[in-house]
Amino acid sequence: MDLHSLRYLVVGAGLWGGVLAERIASQLGERVLVIDRRSHLGGNCHSYKNAGTGIECHAYGSHIFHTSIPRVWEYVTKFTEFTPYRHRVFTQYQGRVYPMPINLLTINNFYNLNLKPYEVEEFIKNEAGKTGDAPPRNLEEKAVSLIGRPLYEAFIKGYTQKQWEKAPRDLPAEIITRLPVRGNYVTDYFADPWQGMPKNGYAAFFERLFSHPLIEVVCNTEYADIAGRTPKNCLTLYSGPLDAFFGYTRGALEWRSLTFEREVVPYGDYQGTAVMNNADPATPYTRVHEFKHLHPERGPQGDASVIAREYPKTFTRGDEAYYPVNTPENQELLHAYQADLAALPNIIAGGRLGAYRYMDMDKTIAAALGCFDGIQKGSGHALSLE
Ligand SMILES: Cc1cc2nc3c(=O)[nH]c(=O)nc-3n(C[C@H](O)[C@H](O)[C@H](O)COP(=O)(O)OP(=O)(O)OC[C@H]3O[C@@H](n4cnc5c(N)ncnc54)[C@H](O)[C@@H]3O)c2cc1C
């Protein structure tokens, strides 16, 4: 790892760091050193082949690419082709399976009705109206006011309770602004014009993204191990959490974490779809991923399958940080750390951890491209937190 005369250091070999490294190498013709504490490229989008079955698995939960941003699509297709995969999600509740988000099939199956598309809005309004007009004081009341109690009890209550390890009536109403209810039988999870899976998988996509000869990647390396050893004029692009960067001097930002319990099961097809939610409160996991279904174009892929059960978990330091917890206290702490960062020269923080914001892959790429625009124009900090 050569730090001598280094002008660009990228901390984090995820999507945000990868796009920035690629742009700096290919557009500015500058050498970039990328470090990551993990042993692989791709950050949370990392995929690998399961040794026994050869099935490509997503290490941090199923990742489906989808975007409506032309610049992102144009960029990402330089590095991979995409399959025409369309994501569909189902949920299991009391031994029956329903499509998600709630659509006409969910409603008709759940209530044992045969409503028509033009009748659904009125039906839901009627269900929701049974609760009266008092302003909702918590998530439960808000959800009930949007979709009515029976659908809430079935599809929102147990799932939300598991996700947050808290009763919905103890969660703030602001967590949800709307609950999408589709008045038709469309089961595609995403509506974006561009969707799919990288044809040869995420691992191959990231190999390509980082392949420019001016990019050097060093894994298993903590930022703390090299902080302060880079030349003064080296620009650091940091995609780790801000509280960790400052040694938690102002306190810790709250996150939600997850654990994945992986299993090779002796079935060619275990659940018939890539992601099956589970809304039963007594079942501790929220979702089951079955990875072979993310690539139907690869055929049956043998008579075994790889699944991962996803369990929500309270974050404690050392866990993987997955979802920021959007409370006023955390936002205040974030802003304080952002002000601390703005006072430092030659550092930009971004990506989902650095910005403390959930971002889909396309938003992450858009943010990284925007950040690169700023670097190219020489406007550094102003773009740090996209
Ligand atoms: C469960 C889950 C499912 C998702 N599914 C989808 C989906 O289907 N579709 C979609 O579009 N998006 C999805 N996303 C979002 C997607 O994961 C993010 O958009 C993307 O991973 C963000 O990339 P990033 O580079 O910002 O962060 P990351 O991928 O987290 O990369 C940051 C990297 O920085 C490294 N790092 C951090 N701190 C340090 C340090 N101090 N020293 C060295 N290295 C460090 C980390 O090890 C990590 O590899 C999902 C997210 C989650 C949590």
The tens digit of pLDDT for each residue in 15-63 reads 999 999 999 999 999 999 999 999 999 999 999 999 999 999 999 999 9
As beta bridge partners, residue 48 has 57
The closest residue, in CA terms, to atom 12 on ligand 1 is 360
Opening angle at CA 321, ends 374 and 39, nearest 5: 80
Q: Specify the amino acid at residue 274.
A: A
**Are the CB atoms for 1 and 34 separated by under 8 Å?**
no
Q: What atom of ligand 1 comes closest to residue 67's alpha carbon?
A: 11
User: Which entry of 310, 322, 352, 386 is annotated as an active-site residue?
Assistant: 310
Q: How far is the CA of 95 from the centre of ligand 1 (A)?
A: 34
Is residue 254 among the annotated active site residues?
Answer: no
Is residue 262 among the annotated active site residues?
Answer: no
Please state whether the predicted TM-score (pTM) of the whole model is above 0.85.
yes
User: Which entry of 192, 280, 320, 360 is annotated as an active-site residue?
Assistant: 360
Q: What number of other Cβ atoms are within 10 A of residue 193's Cβ?
A: 11
Whether the upstream peptide bond of residue 180 has omega within 30° of 0, thus cis, is: no
Residue 256 dihedral angles phi and psi, to the nearest 5°: -105, 145
Q: How far is the CA of 350 from the centre of ligand 1 (A)?
A: 11
Q: What atom of ligand 1 comes closest to residue 46's alpha carbon?
A: 29
Q: How far is the CA of 7 from the centre of ligand 1 (A)?
A: 24
Q: Is the CB of 353 under 6 A from ligand 1?
A: yes
Is residue 310 among the annotated active site residues?
Answer: yes
User: Which entry of 287, 290, 337, 356 is annotated as an active-site residue?
Assistant: 287
Q: Is the CB of 361 under 6 A from ligand 1?
A: yes
**Are the CB atoms for 289 and 304 separated by under 8 Å?**
no
Q: How does pLDDT run across 126-171, given as a tens digit for each residue?
A: 998 877 778 889 999 999 999 999 999 999 999 999 999 999 999 9
Q: Residue 315: what pLDDT?
A: 95
At a CB cut-off of 8 Å and minimum separation 6, what does 70 contact?
none
Q: How far is the CA of 157 from the centre of ligand 1 (A)?
A: 28
The closest residue, in CA terms, to atom 14 on ligand 1 is 360
Residues of the chain with CATH 3.40.50.720: 8-41+210-254+325-383
Q: What atom of ligand 1 comes closest to residue 322's alpha carbon?
A: 53
Q: How does pLDDT run across 234-245, given as a tens digit for each residue?
A: 999 999 999 999
| Closest alpha carbon to 355 in 370, 377, 373, 375 | 370
Q: Is the CB of 322 under 6 A from ligand 1?
A: yes
Half-sphere exposure of 147 (CA within 13 A, CB side): 24
Q: How far is CA 144 from CA 135, 141, 168, 177, in A?
A: 11, 5, 11, 12
| Closest alpha carbon to 35 in 1, 58, 60 | 1
Q: Is the CB of 55 under 6 A from ligand 1?
A: no
Q: How far is the CA of 322 from the centre of ligand 1 (A)?
A: 8
Is residue 358 among the annotated active site residues?
Answer: yes
Burial class (CB in 10 A: 0-12, 13-18, 19+), 137: exposed
Q: What is the full per-residue pLDDT of the chain (386 aa) written as tens digits?
A: 788 899 999 999 999 999 999 999 999 999 999 999 999 999 999 999 999 999 999 999 999 999 999 999 999 999 999 999 999 999 999 999 999 999 999 999 999 999 999 999 999 999 988 777 788 899 999 999 999 999 999 999 999 999 999 999 999 888 888 888 999 999 999 999 999 999 999 999 999 999 999 999 999 999 999 998 999 999 999 999 999 999 999 999 999 999 999 999 999 999 999 999 999 999 999 999 999 999 999 999 999 999 999 999 999 999 999 999 988 899 999 999 999 999 999 999 999 999 999 999 999 999 999 999 999 998 544 344 44
Please give the sequence-ordered ranges of beta strands (E in DSSP) within 5-153, or none if there are none. 8-11, 32-35, 47-49, 56-58, 65-67, 89-93, 96-100
Q: What atom of ligand 1 comes closest to residue 87's alpha carbon?
A: 8
Taken in order 323, 327, 333, 335, is the CA torsion positive or negative?
positive
| CATH class label, 8-41+210-254+325-383 | alpha beta
